[in-house]
Amino acid sequence: DIQMTQSPSSLSASVRDRVTITCRASQGIGNDLGWYQQKPGQGPQRLIYAVSNLQSGVPSRFSGSGSGTEFTLTISSLQPEDFATYYCLQHFRYPFTFGQGTKLEIK
Amino acid sequence: EVQLVESGGSLVQPGGSLRLSCGASGFPFINFWMSWVRQAPGKGLEWVANIKQDGSETYYADSVKGRFTISKDNAKNLVYLQMNSLRVEDTAVYYCARNRYFDFWGRGTLVTVSS
């Protein structure tokens, strides 16, 4: 199975901060990498697909980058509604696997 | 607007069975793979199963293989997850998601396996 190692597991930040979350795959996954946001009591929402493509309706402060085995999600200027948990997903090979999650909290 | 609404979650005893349903609207259901993803209380996300547009291919996580069955009714815009031989560790919120890479999600339905 492909392991997705996500870091950090938690992060405290302030409004208007720039934050970066990283996912490392245990083997190459091509472009088959997405990022998801989950708020308490809600289903996840996809933010980024194919490493760097912004889902329709998602604010442009979210961006994704990377290649091979290392990928990042960047939020350029945190807004109050961005405090949530974030997950990466590889869908290159079955079983599809998620990172462990990053809980982004208000400092 | 894409909408996915799960139903069927409840409390069930270990060894029991349950069938989850997911109703879809707002997109041509027949053209899409569908998936189930679960989340144990306080834990992360775990892919469970997915099914091809016409139902001809299905894939399962090892943790549920042989016990769970995903199916799709394109006439009714429904996707199902039949869960048999349930275990305590199957306790989770079960989400229905569109596509193999989960571009839209429902709000989930809670399955509790406990005696």
The token duo for B11 is: 């409390």
Lookup result for tokens 């409390």: B11
CA distances from B25 to B5, B31, B55, B77, B99 (A): 9, 12, 18, 7, 14
pLDDT in tens, chain B (115 residues): 999 999 999 999 999 999 999 999 999 999 999 999 999 999 999 999 999 999 999 999 999 999 999 999 999 999 999 999 999 999 999 999 999 999 999 999 999 999 9
User: Per-residue pLDDT averaged across A51-69, rounded?
Assistant: 97
Give the per-residue pLDDT at B87. 98
The token duo for B74 is: 């394109």
- Residues of chain B contacting A45 with CB distance shorter than 8 Å: 105
Question: Across the interface, do B102 and A99 touch by the CB < 8 Å criterion?
Answer: no
Rounded to whole angstroms, how far apart are CA atoms B37 and B45?
7
pLDDT digits over B45-75, tens only?
A: 999 999 999 999 999 999 999 999 999 999 9
Question: Across the interface, do A46 and B103 touch by the CB < 8 Å criterion?
Answer: yes
